[in-house]
């Protein structure tokens, strides 16, 4: 039989029966273009590089990066820094807690920082940094955990409380972050629940409980409360962890409206978790059957840390489960999922992100300093990134035994540095992806070899074939397609 087009490109789709589906994609994601050479291709996830001019003696805290206009804010241990012009870190103050996740919000005049112990204010005009002692007065719960700003007010949630407190109304000349009254609050009370956190999108507030979610909207006319609960949007599923709650802007789809969104890991009382997203109304499930299955296998959902960033035209959301050493990545553009990992197979270390001065700054869970994230960076800090794709399992339609003659991968070839002669490795499974044979190398093409194709020969006889493609070197890896040459054997 002549060679035929083999569907190499795909996402993460490992199901309970690996022989049914064991597809996996690591450190790569799908690009769709129906008018291109092939309608789909795989391209590499961005790499990281330590910014040595922005020295920090300790790692950045979870969600410890934040941008306000042309200013960047950084929290490392108890230290708060202002990143000015992308070149200098200026220490502006200290916070109380050492390791809690950080929550941010800002008005035109102030930046709010919450560290799980206290609320702090940075005055943009004067540069003054100070704790807000008003919320430590009688009537307020303890341990503020998340803050949000909407309609000229800050809204603050507290741990183990169903109360959400709001600041006074801000004017154009006077801020509201310092002005709090213990009588100014509303309650998440549609279900017997306690707060996990708060976020919002498109003029709606999202109140996250452990077992429920309420959506609130601002009153358009004067009222006793500045917000009201929209009873059309009350849900009996919450979130187990506030660090999975992220807000972003979806501008990925041509001809479609641009809108902000909120994404989070949710759980309910009938089973394990899933991921959902919404732009202000009913949340939409975005995790697949394979992702939900993987979540059900984890030992701890409560340490999920999610980070959103846009590289090129793609909005990627990393979700890292630290106890289980797993990072699952959603591409908002395509709705496809992938895995991201370090060279030793452990999880991604990214724990925070901000985009400032056309640079993606990211923090690390364990490494000291600030890193730049870019698709032009081919390494993950000081180590290579393994790009890997495990294909679907090919079986003859009549389940006849077949002889595999040749497998070819169409890489973007020739676009490497002088002196580089990169290798791709192919491993073959004959049992539906349960086990793989030894990796076999093939050249990907040296500089200028633009028409080169990586090919492997002689796979023997079997009832099915699953192929795993791996590249370990710091080179551009674009997978554009593939081909398989086989012949059906007589029984």
How does pLDDT run across 287-337, given as a tens digit for each residue? 999 999 999 999 999 999 999 999 988 999 999 999 999 999 999 999 999
Q: Does the pLDDT at position 394 exceed 70?
A: yes
> What is the pTM (predicted TM-score) of this model?
0.95
Dihedral of CA atoms 12, 18, 20, 21 in degrees, nearest 10, equals 10
3 state SS of 273: strand
For 25, 30, 193, 285, 471, the CA distances from 330, given in Å and listed in that order, are: 12, 11, 29, 12, 22
Q: Does the pLDDT at position 281 exceed 90?
A: no
Secondary structure letter of residue 243 according to DSSP: G
pLDDT tens sequence across 23-70: 999 999 999 999 988 999 999 999 999 999 999 999 999 999 999 999
The 3-state secondary structure of 250-305 reads: ECCCCCCCCEEEEEEEEEECCEEEEEEEECCCCCEECCCHHHHHHHHCCCCCCCEE
Q: Flag the least confident range among 131-135, 169-173, 280-284, 387-391.
A: 169-173
pLDDT at 1: 54
pLDDT level of residue 18 (50, 70, 90 thresholds)? confident
Mean pLDDT taken over the chain: 93
β-strands 284-285, 402-411: how paired?
unpaired
Give backbone dihedrals phi and psi of 316, rounded to 5 degrees, phi first: -110, 135
pLDDT tens sequence across 129-144: 999 999 999 999 999 9
Q: Does the pLDDT at position 174 exceed 90?
A: no
Q: Does the pLDDT at position 172 exceed 60?
A: yes
Average pLDDT, stretch 149-167?
95
Sheet of 88-94: strand order equals 60-68, 71-76, 79-84, 88-94
pLDDT level of residue 414 (50, 70, 90 thresholds)? confident
What are 434's two structure tokens? 């349960």
348-385 burial string, b = 16+ CB within 10 Å, else e?
Answer: bbbbbbbebeeebbbbbbebebbbbbeeebbebbeebb
For the chain, domains (ranges, CATH) are: 4-45+388-488 (2.60.120), 49-383 (2.130.10.10)
Return all residues near 358 (Cβ < 8 A) that are at least 6 apart.
none
């Amino acid at each position: 039989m002549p060679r035929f087009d083999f569907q190499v490109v795909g996402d993460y789709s490992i199901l309970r029966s690996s022989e049914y589906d064991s597809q996996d994609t690591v450190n790569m994601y799908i690009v769709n273009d129906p008018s291109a050479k092939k309608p789909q291709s795989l391209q590499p996830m961005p790499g990281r590089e330590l910014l040595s001019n922005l020295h920090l003696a300790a790692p950045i805290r979870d969600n410890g990066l934040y941008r306000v206009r042309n200013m960047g804010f950084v929290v490392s241990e108890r230290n708060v820094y202002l990143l000015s012009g992308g070149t200098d870190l200026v220490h502006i103050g200290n916070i109380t807690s050492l390791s809690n996740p950080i929550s941010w919000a800002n008005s035109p005049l102030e930046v709010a920082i919450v560290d799980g112990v206290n609320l702090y204010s940075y005055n943009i005009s004067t540069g003054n940094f100070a704790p807000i002692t008003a919320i430590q007065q009688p009537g307020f719960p303890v341990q503020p955990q998340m803050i949000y700003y909407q309609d000229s007010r800050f809204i603050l949630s507290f741990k183990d409380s169903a109360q959400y407190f709001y600041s006074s109304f801000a004017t154009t000349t006077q801020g509201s972050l310092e002005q709090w009254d213990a009588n100014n609050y509303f309650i998440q009370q549609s279900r017997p629940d306690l707060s996990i956190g708060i976020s919002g999108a498109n003029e709606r507030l999202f109140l996250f409980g452990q077992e429920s979610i309420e959506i609130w909207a601002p009153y358009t006319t004067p009222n006793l409360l500045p917000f009201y609960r929209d009873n059309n949007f009350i849900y009996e599923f919450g979130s187990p962890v506030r660090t999975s709650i992220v807000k972003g802007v979806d501008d990925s789809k041509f001809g479609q409206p641009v809108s902000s969104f909120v994404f989070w890991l949710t759980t309910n009382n009938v089973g394990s978790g899933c991921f959902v997203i919404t732009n202000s109304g009913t949340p939409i499930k975005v995790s697949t059957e394979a992702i939900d299955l993987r979540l059900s296998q984890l030992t701890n959902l409560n340490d999920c840390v999610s980070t959103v960033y846009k590289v090129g035209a793609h909005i990627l959301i990393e979700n890292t489960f630290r106890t289980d050493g797993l990072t699952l990545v959603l591409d908002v553009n395509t709705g496809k999922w992938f895995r991201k990992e370090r060279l030793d197979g452990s999880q991604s270390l990214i724990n925070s992100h901000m985009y400032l001065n056309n640079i993606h700054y990211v923090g690390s869970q364990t490494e000291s300093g600030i890193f730049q994230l870019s698709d032009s960076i081919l390494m993950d800090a000081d180590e290579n990134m393994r790009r890997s794709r495990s294909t679907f399992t090919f079986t003859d339609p009549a389940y006849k035994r077949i002889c595999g003659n040749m497998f070819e991968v169409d890489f973007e070839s020739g676009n490497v540095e002088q002196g580089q002669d990169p290798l791709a490795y192919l491993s073959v499974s004959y049992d539906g992806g349960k086990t793989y044979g030894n990796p076999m190398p093939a050249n990907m093409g040296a500089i200028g070899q633009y028409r080169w194709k990586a090919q492997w020969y002689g796979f023997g006889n079997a009832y099915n074939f699953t192929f795993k493609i791996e590249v370990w070197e710091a080179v551009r890896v674009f997978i554009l397609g593939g081909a398989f040459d086989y012949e059906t054997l007589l029984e």
